[in-house]
Structure 1
Amino acid sequence: MQVRPDHHGAGGAALVWRVPPGWTALSSASVGGGPGRPRWVTNLGVGDDFTRTDLPAYAAERAAALGLRGPGTTLLTAADVTQVEHAEHDGVRAWATVGVTKPTWALAPDGRPPTDPGLPPPPGTINIVAALPRPLSGSALVQAVGTLTEAKAQALLEAGVPGTGTASDAVVVLCPPPGEGGADTPPEAFAGVRSRWGQCLAVAVHTAVSAGMRARPWPAADVDAGVRW
């Protein structure tokens, strides 16, 4: 599977992952998310002033401009996608675009919703795409998303970020179909943080997100480090 930055797509820069046939994905993306077998994944750069709400139509327009066909999964971010961080550990690969301008806790410190739920979250997104070399069972795919999220949160806390992520973070976990690498290769049953492949995933994600934080340390000069929302 290959990733390439594309600076010529209509609407802004994009990262494109070409996914081999038969691969399975589990994603929190708002376009093409959930379980599925995408043929491609995109991480699309959008401006801070992006206001479109017809996200499937927008994603389809950008995909067509990039020459992509078939089902796919689309991530969006106001971060500079050309500054993608990549890490690999024992065959597990992770790519992260790290934009931390509005970090948030899962629960506001005072226990109340930190923002008007009717308003879209401000720009500041961490998007992560991860690929494992082994097939995963359905439950292991869910565990992998949890492992990825824990590793991201750990990297942010170690970097001094006051939150476990941003309100618009999205992830994609990809794995090959059963039988990949041999007809008798069964799906892995576990991908939690203490399983072999979960630990490899945690290392790769933590490394990529940490690199993103080193490149763009918290807090940025134009960010109020005291904000909690």
Structure 2
Amino acid sequence: MSAVIPPPRPATGLLPVQPLDRLEGGERLHGLLWRAGADWRMISSAVLGGGIGERAWVLNAQVSHGYRRTDPERHLAELARDAGVRGPGVGLMTAADVRAYGHAHDAGAEAVATAGLGVRGWAAAPGQGAAAAPQPGTVNIVVALPVALTDAALVNAVATATEAKVQALLDAGYDCSGTPTDAVCVAARVPRGGEDAHPFAGPRSLWGARLARAVHRAVHAAARPPAA
């Protein structure tokens, strides 16, 4: 007997982003804010609000090239307060112009990506890693799923999103796996009473496949063709 899979909830409005702009150091900079609200669990590699936990908002803030502040977590918290959000959230940074973001959805999964690829390469390139804090990430991915995931599936979702990002960059003509400081955030619903969280989010699982396609389209749309 085959399992009955309920239809996905509509993706419309699942991940709406609000454009922000500010004047900082005489430079006009921009941001994208997702006011997710309550009942979201997120996993992220972000500077602010990284790890796994309940989060209510996601901010992807553009900063200047050659960013010099040594307190990015505090900086992002200040920008979030200025934008009017409170409570726990996720803060991402990038030197890319976030107004050129890609936004895509697939059967209920939704993704937003920004991509600045001036400094790029392969993850397993030879050379010594740096112990110092890296410069702001240039490929930032935010994903929202309208279902609950276990902790293990959240980790799996990050891996799936990363695989889809690399595929998108290759399809866009880049010979790289990303930049040295890419970041990702995956949001899933808090389990409701009696609801089982999905245990898998690999690329061939139900929601992992949808996530992968949404991320691929969003990153591909955000990635500018490489210079000839």
TM-score normalised over the length of structure 2: 0.86
* Structure 2 residue 200 is the aligned partner of structure 1 residue 171: no
SS in 2 for 1:217: coil
Q: Deviations over 1:158-196 (max 9, x none)?
A: 2221210111100000011112xxx44310011001101
Aligned residues: percent identity? Answer: 46
SS in 2 for 1:43: strand
The residue type paired with residue 60 of structure 1 is A
Matched with 2:43 is 26
Gaps of 5+ in 2: 1-13
Matched with 1:202 is 212
Matched with 1:7 is 21
SS in 2 for 1:13: strand
RMSD: 1.8
Matched with 2:196 is 186
Partners in 2 of 1:124 and 1:41 — Cα distance? 15
Matched with 1:58 is 75
Q: CA deviation at 1:209?
A: 0.8
Task: Say whether the 8 Å CA contact 1:10–1:65 is kept in structure 2.
Answer: no
The residue type paired with residue 159 of structure 1 is A
| Counterpart pick for 2:98 among 53, 78, 81 | 81
Partners in 1 of 2:23 and 2:74 — Cα distance? 15
Distance 1:123 1:27, change over 3 A: closer
The residue type paired with residue 178 of structure 2 is G
Distance 1:184 1:82, change over 3 A: same
Partners in 1 of 2:149 and 2:78 — Cα distance? 32
